[in-house]
């Protein structure tokens, strides 16, 4: 089982950047007024940020990283490891992390690679970067996570378009022999890989002219095979079934008391689903922040975006014990127990 603890690594700072262009689901005309109301009430998603054509996830993460390093007063040449977590890379190849090494002027002695994950990606990324740092004793590292999901979503698909927003984040981690342990419970189940999928464009189904043909699936759902396709009820079932036991196992493994945790920060998928998970884990509402009404589902950026948007004032002061949990596309899911101490956060950055 991928249940493990990491010593000597702390999260020093978090930053998030969203495109300046905002859309609201009240303007989503594929739905009538009652349907809009029901969608917003159920999913909790009112507004989303949408990237201009040509803006990539790397651009949003670059802005986050640059601003955060400046705020921390860290020099680019101190960063020895950079990981980019995304499912919307700049190119098929080379990896986006390598391009960002150069754009951020990190030294060529830095290790750089990408991780291809979505909703679970931030917690997965934390587990990988902290594991590497603790074994290599690398002192400072950058975890970038985000997606420009709007690139793959059909505007005429009511089952996806109103749900997703674009965002990119940056997290700086440091080696520190005096910090608390981190604990992880990391899982996967590829039998559910059809539940969220962009069918065409990889090598299994290469892009052809047919990939761009738009099919009417049902009323309000038009998409092509290069568009993202989502089976909401299957994801809902998966999340309710898998996330609460994953968190409970982790807390038991770490020999911790769930009641002593200050905040439970979930991937922002769907308010009704997240609230069901919260109730199953018996967390008080005050401990469970949401940024979903403002930004929608921002894939692997959702946890750092929620930290920056909803908790920065609280986490900037003193020690806070956090449970983080990401779940979705893959299927893939992961939770972490982390302790922050005077966490440095930037404001929510806007990309023009």
Closest CA to 144 of 167, 162, 177, 164: 167
Q: Is residue 271 packed enough to be buried (19+ CB in 10 Å), middle (13-18) or exposed (0-12)?
A: middle
If one asks whether residue 39 binds other proteins (CB under 8 A), the answer comes out as yes
The least distance separating other proteins from the CB of residue 237, rounded to whole angstroms, comes to 5
Nearer to other proteins, 248 or 276 (CB): 276
Q: How many CB atoms lie within 10 A of CB 305?
A: 32
If one asks whether residue 108 binds other proteins (CB under 8 A), the answer comes out as no
Q: How far apart are CA 129 and CA 335, in angstroms?
A: 15
Nearer to other proteins, 97 or 160 (CB): 160
Q: How many CA atoms lie within 13 Å of 179's alpha carbon, on the beta-carbon side?
A: 27
Q: Which residues, listed in sequence order, are joined to residue 183 by a DSSP beta bridge?
A: 5, 337
If one asks whether residue 215 binds other proteins (CB under 8 A), the answer comes out as no
Q: How far apart are CA 170 and CA 168, in angstroms?
A: 7
Binding residue (CB under 8 A) for other proteins from 98, 205, 224, 276:
276
Query: Which residues within the stretch 229-258 sit at the binding site for other proteins (CB under 8 A)?
Result: 231-234, 236-237, 240-241
The structure tokens listed for 289 are 């922040």
The least distance separating other proteins from the CB of residue 220, rounded to whole angstroms, comes to 9
Q: What angle do CA 222, 299, 129 make, to 5 degrees?
A: 150
The structure tokens listed for 11 are 């999260």
Site string for other proteins, 159-178 (x = CB under 8 A): x-------------------
CA distances from 297 to 48, 126, 246 (A): 8, 19, 21
If one asks whether residue 73 binds other proteins (CB under 8 A), the answer comes out as no
Nearer to other proteins, 14 or 40 (CB): 40
If one asks whether residue 216 binds other proteins (CB under 8 A), the answer comes out as no
The least distance separating other proteins from the CB of residue 120, rounded to whole angstroms, comes to 19
If one asks whether residue 193 binds other proteins (CB under 8 A), the answer comes out as no
Binding residue (CB under 8 A) for other proteins from 107, 272, 316, 347:
272
If one asks whether residue 37 binds other proteins (CB under 8 A), the answer comes out as yes
Beta carbons of 6 and 134 less than 8 angstroms apart? yes
Closest CA to 142 of 123, 128, 129: 129
- Tell me the window of 33-41, 91-99, 317-325, 342-350 that interacts with other proteins (CB under 8 A): 33-41
- Point out which residues bind other proteins (CB under 8 A): 34-35, 37-39, 42-43, 159, 231-234, 236-237, 240-241, 270, 272-273, 275-276, 279-280
């Amino acid at each position: 089982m991928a249940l493990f603890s990491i010593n000597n690594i702390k999260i020093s700072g978090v930053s998030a950047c969203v495109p300046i262009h905002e859309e609201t689901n009240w303007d989503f005309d594929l739905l009538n007024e009652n349907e809009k109301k029901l969608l917003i009430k159920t999913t909790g998603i009112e507004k989303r940020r949408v990237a201009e054509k040509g803006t990539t996830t790397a651009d949003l993460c670059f802005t986050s990283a640059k601003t955060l390093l400046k705020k921390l007063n860290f020099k680019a040449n101190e960063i020895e490891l950079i990981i980019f977590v995304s499912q919307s890379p700049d190119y098929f190849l080379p990896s986006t992390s390598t391009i960002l090494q150069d754009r951020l002027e990190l030294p060529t002695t830095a290790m750089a690679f990408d991780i291809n994950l979505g909703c679970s990606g931030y917690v997965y990324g934390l587990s990988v970067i902290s594991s590497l740092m603790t074994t290599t004793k690398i002192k400072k590292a950058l975890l970038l996570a985000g997606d420009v999901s709007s690139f793959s979503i059909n505007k005429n698909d009511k089952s996806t378009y109103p749900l997703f927003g674009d965002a990119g984040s940056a997290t700086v981690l440091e080696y520190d022999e005096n910090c608390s342990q981190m604990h992880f419970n990391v899982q996967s189940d590829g039998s559910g890989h059809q539940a969220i999928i962009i069918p065409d464009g990889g090598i299994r189904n290469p892009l052809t002219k047919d990939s761009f043909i738009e099919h009417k699936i049902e009323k309000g759902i038009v998409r092509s095979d290069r568009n993202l396709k989502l089976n909401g009820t299957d994801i809902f079932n998966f999340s309710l079934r898998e996330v609460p036991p994953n968190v409970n196992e982790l807390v038991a493994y770490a020999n911790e008391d769930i009641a002593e945790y200050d905040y439970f920060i979930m991937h922002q998928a769907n308010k009704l689903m997240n609230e069901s998970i919260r109730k199953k884990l018996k967390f008080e509402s005050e401990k469970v922040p949401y940024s979903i009404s403002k930004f929608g589902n921002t894939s692997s950026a959702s946890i750092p975006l929620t930290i920056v948007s909803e908790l920065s004032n609280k986490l900037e002061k003193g020690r806070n014990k956090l449970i983080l949990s990401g779940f979705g596309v893959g299927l893939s899911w992961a939770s972490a127990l982390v302790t922050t101490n005077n966490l440095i956060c930037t404001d929510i950055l806007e990309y023009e």
